[in-house]
Chain A
Amino acid sequence: MNFNATLFGQLLAFMFFVWFTMQYVWPYILEALEEREKEISDGLEAASRGKRELDEAHQKKAEILEEAKKEAADLVNQANARANQLVEDAKSSANEEAERIKVSAQSDLEQAAKRTKEELRSEVAALAVSGAEKILGSEIDQEKNSQLIDQIAQEL
C-alpha cells in the first residue's frame, strides 16, 4: 500500500473516460432510449384513441340502425293506411255506382210500367167502346159520349 504517481495516472484515465462517455456515448444511447419511449407512448395513445373512435362508431351505427328501423316501420304503416284508404275508396265508389245503376234501372222500369199502363188503358177504352157499340147496336156518338168514355177510361 504505497501512494505514488499512479494515483494521478488513474485520475487522468478516469477523467478521460468520463469525458469520452459524456461526449460520445451517453447522449446517443439516451436519445435512442427516449425516442423509443416516446414512440411507445405515442403508439399506446394512438391505440386508445383508435379504440375510442371504434366505440363511437359502434354507437353511431346502432343509432343509425335504430332510426332506419323506425323509418321503415313508419313507411310500412303509411303504406298500410294508404292501401286501406284505397280499398275503402274503391268500395264506396263501387257502392255508389251500384246504387246509381239500381236507381236508373228502377226509374226505367217505372217508366215502362207507366207506358204500358197508358197503352193498356187506351186499348181498354177502345175495347169498352167497341163492346158497348156492339151491345147497343149502334154507334155511339163519339163526340156526344166522349166525356163519358173518358170518364170510364179514367176509372180503369
Chain B
Amino acid sequence: MASKELNSTDYIEHHLTNLTYGKCPDGTWSFAEVHGKSQVAGTEASCNISEMGFWAFQVDTLFMSVLLGLGMIFFMRRVAKNASSSKPSRVQNAVEYLVTLVRDQVQDNFTADKNPLMGPLALTIFVWVFLMNLMDLIPIDLVPWMLNGFAAPNAEGGAIHYFKVLPVADINAPMGMALGVLILIHYYSIKNKGLGGFLAELTFQPYGKWMAPINVIFEIPGFYAKQLALGLRLYGNLFAGEMIFILIALFFGGFFSSFTGVLSGIAGLALNFIWAVFHILVVILQAFLFMVLTLVYLQQAHEHH
C-alpha cells in the first residue's frame, strides 16, 4: 500500500504541516502542495505553503478551534438557559465551579472599577484555551489517520492527507488571541488614561520627561514584549509538548515488524503515558496562565501610575 518508506524526518515534517488553503502567486485559491501533490485528494494545488504568503488559512487550526469554541458556547448556553438558583443540575454545578473560579480570579487580579467584560473574557479564555490544549492528549496519529481513510500518512488512503488536531501548536491561534488582548489593552489604556496619559506612561517613565528617548527604549519593548510573550508562551509550551509526542510516536514505527520493534513500542507506550500525565498539568496551567496574565495586563491598562 505504501508507495515509499516513511522515514523519521518525513514523519515529523508531516506532523508539523498544517492543512492550508490560500492564495497562490498566480491568483488562484487552493489547498497547498506538499511534495508535489495537493494536501487534499482530488484538488489541484498550484503552489506550496511558503509561496502563499499572508493570504493563507490553516484550515485545521481554524476548524478545530472554532469547533471547540462552538462546543463550548453551546454547552455553556444550555447551562446558562436552565440555570436555577435552587436546584442546580450536575452540569450546572460543574460550570458554576468554573465561573466561581474565574470570578475569584477576576476579583483578585482586577481591582480597577468593575468592567463587565472581564468575567466573560476570562471565562472564554480559560475554557477555550483549555479545550484547545486538551487536543494535545489525543493520540497524535489518530485524527490524521482517520481523515486519511485509516491509512498511513504516506499512503494514498482518504481525502485529507494533512491535519493537525492541536490548534495551539500553530502560532496563529495563540497569537490571534494575544492580538485580541493587545487591542483591548490599547483600548482601555487610551480610554482610562487618555491618549496623552498613555503615551506619557511610555515616555516619561522611569527617568522623567528629560530622558524621554531613553525611557522609550526601556518602556516600548517591555510593553510589547509582555503581550507578545503572552501568545508565545502558550504556543511554545504546547508546540514543545506536541513535538515530544511526535518524537515518542517514532518508537512505534516497527511495532509489528520485529522483536526490537515490539520492545521499542513498549518503551514508547511507557514514555507516552508519562508525558501525557505530565502534560495534563501543562494543559491546565497554560490555560490558567493565559487567563490570569490577560487580567493582570488589563488591570495595568486601567490603573494610573
Given A13-B62, A21-B73, A30-B103: A3 touches B80 (CB 8 Å cut-off): no
Please choose the segment from B118-126, B155-163, B188-196, B274-282 that sits at the chain A interface, where 4 or more of its residues have CB less than 8 A away. Answer: B118-126
A108 vs chain B, min Cβ distance (A): 103
Q: Which residues of B contact A30 (CB under 8 A)?
A: 99, 103, 119
Checking A16, A22, A31, A33 against B116 with a beta-carbon cut-off of 8 angstroms, the contacting residue is A22
Bitwise interface map of B from 62 to 98 toward A, beta carbon under 8 Å scored 1, else 0: 1001100100110011011101111010001001100
Q: Which residues of B contact A28 (CB under 8 A)?
A: 80-81, 83
B166 vs chain A, min Cβ distance (A): 14
Given A10-B176, A25-B77, A25-B120: A4 touches B66 (CB 8 Å cut-off): no
Checking A20, A31, A39 against B83 with a beta-carbon cut-off of 8 angstroms, the contacting residue is A31
Q: Which residues of B contact A13 (CB under 8 A)?
A: 62, 65-66, 69, 176
Given A14-B180, A29-B95: A3 touches B172 (CB 8 Å cut-off): yes
Dominant SS at the A interface? Answer: helix
A19 vs chain B, min Cβ distance (A): 8
- Asked whether B172 lies within 8 Å of A7 as measured between CB atoms, the reply is yes
Residue A120 is within 8 A (CB to CB) of chain B in the complex: no
Please choose the segment from B2-10, B45-53, B140-148 that sits at the chain A interface, where 4 or more of its residues have CB less than 8 A away. Answer: B45-53
Most A CB within 10 A of own CB, among B55, B73, B99, B176: B176
Residue of B nearest to A22 (CB): B120
A21 vs chain B, min Cβ distance (A): 4
- Asked whether B96 lies within 8 Å of A6 as measured between CB atoms, the reply is no
B17 vs chain A, min Cβ distance (A): 11
Residue A11 is within 8 A (CB to CB) of chain B in the complex: yes
Given A6-B57, A13-B66: A22 touches B117 (CB 8 Å cut-off): yes
- Asked whether A10 lies within 8 Å of B177 as measured between CB atoms, the reply is yes
A28 vs B272: C-alpha distance when bound (angstroms): 41
Q: What are 24 A-B interface contacts by the 8 Å CB criterion? A: A1-B171, A5-B54, A5-B56, A6-B58, A6-B173, A9-B57, A10-B172, A10-B173, A11-B179, A11-B180, A13-B62, A14-B176, A17-B124, A18-B120, A18-B180, A26-B119, A26-B120, A28-B81, A28-B83, A29-B80, A32-B88, A33-B96, A33-B99, A35-B85
